[in-house]
Structures are given as C-alpha cells and as structure tokens.
Amino acid sequence: MIELVGVNKTFTTKDLNVEACKDVNLKIEDGDIFGIIGFSGAGKSTLVRCINLLERPTSGKVLIDGVDITQLKEAELRKIRKKIGMIFQHFNLMRSRTVYQNIAYPLKGSKLTKAQIDKKVKDLLELVGLSEKLNAYPSELSGGQKQRVAIARALANDPKVLLCDEATSALDPQTTSSILKLLKEVNQKLGITIVLITHEMAVIKEICNRVAVMELGKVVETGNILDIFSHPKAQMTIDFINSTNPITKIYELIDNGAEIVRLHKGQRLLKLTYGAEETKEALISQLSKKYDVVCNIVFGNVEVIQQAALGSLIVMLEGSEDAMRKAEAELKHYNIEVEVLKCWNN
Amino acid sequence: MLEQLIPNVMVKIPKLIQSILETFQMMGWSGSISFVLGLFFGVVLIVTRKEGIMECHPVYWVLDKIINILRSIPFIILVPATLFLSRAIMGTGIGVKGAIIPLIIGTVPFFSRQIELALAEVDGGLIEAAQAMGDSPLQIIFRVYLKESIPAIVRATTITFISLIGLTAMAGVVGAGGLGDFAIRYGHQRSEPDVIWVTILIILILVTIAQAIGDVIIKKTTH
C-alpha cells in the first residue's frame, strides 16, 4: 500500500515559490489501478515523482507498506526504487542499447545468472508482445513499441508498483488503447499496483478503479471511479467528465434554438441521468404505458465503467401537466436524476 | 625523382623519421593522460553542476573558473610559464619529456569542456529513468552518461586530438623536437621550403587518419 500523508512540494526559484503539491493525502491500495487526473501544471507529475522520491517532498510522509521512505538512507531508497517500476511520456529508452539490453539494464548487479536474465528478458518481451524485436534499437521502433519496451524494462525487477507518468500522452488513440490494455493485463496477471497520471478522462475511464482529481497542486476529489462518474462533486471533476461526454452538447443546442429541441404545446425537455442499478429496468416504456405520456428520446450516451453502465438521456415528454408530473416523480423514485432543461410556454 | 622534388628532405630522412616519432611520443603521452583527466573533469563538471546528480556548487565553481583561466592562456606562453612544473614533475624542462606537462595543461581544460558539452546532450529523462530504476550516481555516470554519449565523446576526442597535433608543433620551442620543430628549424630558418611542404603533408595525413577513425567509431556507435 502506498500512502501519502500531508505531502507538500514547493519549488523555490529566485523570484517566486511554486507550490506544486499542497497537503496531498492519498491512499493507494494493493492491486489498484489508481488514476491521477489534472490539467498540465496541476502538479500531478510532481506528485507521482514524490512516490519514488525522484522529487523529495518539502514536507509530509510517503509510506510504502508502512515504511516512511523519506527517512531512508540513499542505499535503502535505491532498493525500494527497484521495486517501483516507472514509465514515462517520452519512454526514456537508452538509444545505444538494443531492446534486449534495455530490458536487461535494471537486472545488472542483481543476483540473477546470465541464463536467468536471458529467460527473464525473453519472458518480458513475450508479455509485451515484442519477441521479434529483440535486437532492434529504440530508433527502429514506433512510439507504441517503445512504450512496450519501457513497460518490460519497468517490470524487470518484479516490482509491486508501476508508476506511469503520462505514459500514453505521446501516442495516438489506437496505440493508447493497446497500451492501456497491456497495463490492465499487467495489473491483473501480475497483481501489480498501477498509479497513472493523465490529463485525459478517457484514459481514467478505460482502466482505473480509483481516481484522484488534482487542481493547482491540491487533490480536490478522490474516490471509486463509478462514484466519481455518477456523482462528481468538485467542479473540476464535472468539467473533466463533461469533456468526454457528448451529452453536454444539449446546452449548446438549446442556446442556439436548434430544431431538434424546439418544443410544441404540452412538451418538455428532460435530462435523465442514471446509474448502474436502474439500467436494468424498462423504465421509458413503462412510463408511456402507466401515465399516458409520449416519451421521445432525443439523444443519449451510455458509458461503460468497470462493467457498469452509466447513462444520460435527453428525453422529450409529451402529455398533460399532471401526467408529466407523475412521470417525473416515478423516475425520481427509481433514483434517476431528472433535470428539466426546457418547458413549453406560450 | 624524389631527390629532385624534395632534395632537402631526402638528405634528412633519419631526422624526419625521428621527428615523426617524437611527435608520436608527445601525442601518445599527453593525449592519453589528457583523455583520462579530461573525461574525469568533464564528468565532475556535469554531475556537480546545478540540477546535476551530485550537485555541489563550490566544486563546480572552482573547476569552472580554473578551466576558463587556463583556456585563456595562449599555449606559446603556457610552455615557459609551466617550466617550473615540468622541472619539478618530469625532472627536465626540455625535450619530449619537458613538453608533456604543458601539453596536458593546454589540452585538459579544452577537452573537459568538450566532454561537459557532450555529456550535457544526454537526455535528462534517461537520468531520471536510471534513478527510478535504483541506479547509484556512480552507475549513472558509467552506464548512462558515458555509455550513452560515446559518439559525442568520440567526436570531442577527435577534435581535441587534432588540436593537440597543433600544440605539439608549438612545443618545439622547448626543444621537444617533433614535426613542428623540424619544419621551423630546417624549412624556415634554413629556407628549405620543401621541408615545410613535406611536414605539412605528413601532418595532414595524421589529421585525416584521426578524423577517419573518429568518423568510423561514431558511425558504428550511433543507433
């Protein structure tokens, strides 16, 4: 388990102090895929570097399995670092070494024999799907392949934790998703805790089970990813979620008075947001039958997060005032968030 | 035919060969010692500089200043200025032996700077990756800084080696002998122009060979 307790990091230059991390408290459980999201400059890169002390916190504790590593001597810290793998946005492979030599790099000075190292490197290459690139140099690889080599290198010492510093930010969407798949595999097959930082909510959505949202050096919200997506609290979180959700386009359409949201007599426009449990019920068709309202789905979006569906629908209701009120009450009864976007008025 | 083309050289062949050997001796001794020292000081500069892996401002500052001072002294003045050192260390201030100390002092600051520049090209991300993998500073120096910048180090070495050939010619003033001395003594002072031309040709060949070897190594080690 990784625990950050009251971590502060201030960079001091001649004219100003930059507080990159302010009183950060985080708990990362074994086996988590923990995402830290924030815009550039939010301090997430600094924070992830505080976990292996590439950046030393100005104050606060960094506990790894209960040991405060800020108190360790250099040699002891280096031992701990060998058990914390790290990958980077720009891969940071050694240009003068082949793929094989890059992966074997961290194994030099370990107790393994040459034959054991050879087996280890080849196993890792197989895991990341690059067995045929054994003798290639990094300059001969694509971005995605470089990151795979970097992942193999980071896993060479059988770490318990893998830190990912914007590991997919320099990659195209398809490569990103293949790397994320690999990371998930690493997490599940090898039981490695993953801490990843990113500025893309899509990345978080794809593989994380827990997330921390950072803004200006502070963690503004932490939690289970499903909770965060279904009930975000901090404005920053809401903004991040909206950045990946097409449903927010409705506000633009309403502002512009678009045809599809133009209402006639007895109509109103609703936004329904529902979580995992409610999606199993056939609510919309029930409403029409029970209350004599016409339900027209204008558009919708369903996110699948950790095998649960989170949906939002833009719905046009038509019927008598009374029927619509009852229908709305019924929806709320099923724990569906109802937001009236627009009502018909003369 | 050569007797007609370069008559003055042909009568001094043994002297010429001896000069070449003297140049080789000076190059060999001062070159290899300067290489080790320059590499060492270059590394010290890079690791003790600001944000370096063993940041230490006083060490960087002192070394930086010494290098700047030594580099600003013209070699022709450096030779007599270091005479006392040569006498103390080598036991003599003249001949090949007497030239080695000034040659080293003239070369090391230049080479250290070149090495510092070469090592500065190593991507900071690699250093960070090595630290994250639990490497010690000494491991980072050898396995990342030096290993990853072999092409740049070879380039710096070639440049320095060529400038060292120039310095050995000047070292002739302390009676060190060598090709420079040969050209000045016979070619210039006795007005035998063919001696000068032959000397230039030999030096040209030396420089070309040094450059070619450098280029081959750079090509082989760049990936």
Interchain contact, B125 vs A92, CB within 8 Å: yes
Q: What is the 3-class SS of A144-182, one letter each residue?
A: HHHHHHHHHHHHCCCCCEEEEECCCCCCCHHHHHHHHHH
pLDDT at B58 exceeding the cut of 90? yes
Structural domains in chain A?
2-244 (3.40.50.300), 246-343 (3.30.70.260)
Interchain contact, A137 vs B223, CB within 8 Å: yes
Distance CA B153, CA B64 (A): 19
Residue B40: band (very low, low, confident or very high) from pLDDT cuts 50, 70, 90: very high
Interchain contact B55–A (C-beta under 8 A): no
Structure tokens at A335: 């724990």
Residue in this structure with the two tokens 């599940």, named with its chain if needed: A188
Nearest chain B CA: its distance from A274 CA (Å):
43
Helix or strand run (H / E) with residue A211: strand A210-215
| Residue A133 DSSP class | G
Interchain contact B50–A (C-beta under 8 A): no
Residue B138 identity:
L
Q: What is the ipTM of this complex?
A: 0.87
CB < 8 Å from A in window 100-129 of B: 123, 125-126, 128-129
Distance CA B85, CA B91 (A): 9
Interchain contact, B136 vs A157, CB within 8 Å: no
Overall size of chain B counted in residues: 223
Contact pairs from chain A to chain B, CB under 8 Å: 56
Of A80, A85, A95, the CB nearest to B223: A95
Distance CA A252, CA A271 (A): 14
Strands A59-64 and A67-68 come out as antiparallel
Interior/surface letters B160-183, b for 16+ CB within 10 angstroms, e for the rest: bbbebbebbbbbbbbebbbbbbbb
Residue B212 CA to its chain's centroid (Å)? 17
Nearest chain B CA: its distance from A317 CA (Å):
57
Q: Give the nearest chain B residue to A87 (CA atoms).
A: B129
Nearest chain A CA: its distance from B131 CA (Å):
7
Range of the domain at B212: 2-221
Nearest chain B CA: its distance from A166 CA (Å):
13
Chain A residues touching B147 at Cβ < 8 A: 94, 96-97
CB < 8 Å from A in window 182-201 of B: none
The burial class, CB within 10 Å (0-12 / 13-18 / 19+), for B113 is buried
Distance CA A205, CA A110 (A): 37
Q: State the distance between the two ends of chain A, measured CA to CA, in whole angstroms.
A: 61
Nearest chain B CA: its distance from A167 CA (Å):
13
The pLDDT value given to residue B112 = 97
CB < 8 Å from B in window 120-159 of A: 137-139, 153, 157
Write the pLDDT tens digit of every residue in B130-159.
999 999 999 999 999 999 999 999 999 999
The pLDDT value given to residue A253 = 82
Residues paired with A316 in a beta bridge: A269, A296
Helix or strand run (H / E) with residue A203: helix A201-207
Q: What's the angle, vertex CA B31, arms to CA B30 and CA B34, rounded to 5?
A: 80
Q: Residue B192: which CATH number?
A: 1.10.3720.10
The burial class, CB within 10 Å (0-12 / 13-18 / 19+), for A169 is middle
Of A81, A94, A163, the CB nearest to B134: A81
Residue A119 identity:
K
Residues paired with B184 in a beta bridge: none
Nearest chain B CA: its distance from A105 CA (Å):
9
The pLDDT value given to residue A180 = 96
Render A246-262 in DSSP notation, one character per residue. Answer: GGGHHHHHHHHT-GGG-
pLDDT at B214 exceeding the cut of 90? yes
pLDDT at B1 exceeding the cut of 90? no
Q: Give the nearest chain A residue to B218 (CA atoms).
A: A96
Interchain contact B221–A (C-beta under 8 A): yes
Structure tokens at A332: 């709320």
Nearest chain B CA: its distance from A96 CA (Å):
6
Number of domains in chain B: 1
Interchain contact B94–A (C-beta under 8 A): no
Nearest chain B CA: its distance from A214 CA (Å):
23
Chain A residues touching B132 at Cβ < 8 A: 52, 54, 81, 84-86, 163
The pLDDT value given to residue B123 = 95
Interchain contact A21–B (C-beta under 8 A): no
What is the overall mean pLDDT for chain B? 92
Whether the CB-CB separation of B30 and B103 falls below 8 Å is answered with yes
Interchain contact A222–B (C-beta under 8 A): no
Helix, strand or coil, per DSSP, at residue A85: strand
pLDDT at B8 exceeding the cut of 90? no
| Alpha carbon distances (Å) from B181 to A303, B23, B81, B168 | 84, 10, 19, 9
* Residue A322: CB atoms within 10 Å: 10
Interchain contact, A54 vs B132, CB within 8 Å: yes
Interior/surface letters A132-141, b for 16+ CB within 10 angstroms, e for the rest: ebeebbbeeb
Q: What is the pTM of this model?
A: 0.87
Whether the CB-CB separation of B19 and B203 falls below 8 Å is answered with no
Q: What is the largest CA-CA distance in chain B?
A: 70
The pLDDT value given to residue A189 = 93
Whether the CB-CB separation of B125 and A92 falls below 8 Å is answered with yes
Distance CA A143, CA A134 (A): 16
Structure tokens at B18: 């001896």
The pLDDT value given to residue A292 = 84
Percent of chain B's residues with pLDDT above 70: 99
Interchain contact, B144 vs A94, CB within 8 Å: yes
Interchain contact, B132 vs A52, CB within 8 Å: yes
Nearest to A152 by CA among A168, A173, A131, A172: A131
Residues of chain A under the 50 pLDDT cut: none
Distance CA B109, CA A271 (A): 73
| Alpha carbon distances (Å) from A332 to A272, A275, A338, B29 | 10, 12, 7, 90
Helix or strand run (H / E) with residue A326: helix A321-333
Distance CA A163, CA A181 (A): 16
Interchain contact B134–A (C-beta under 8 A): yes
Of B126, B134, B136, the CB nearest to A94: B126
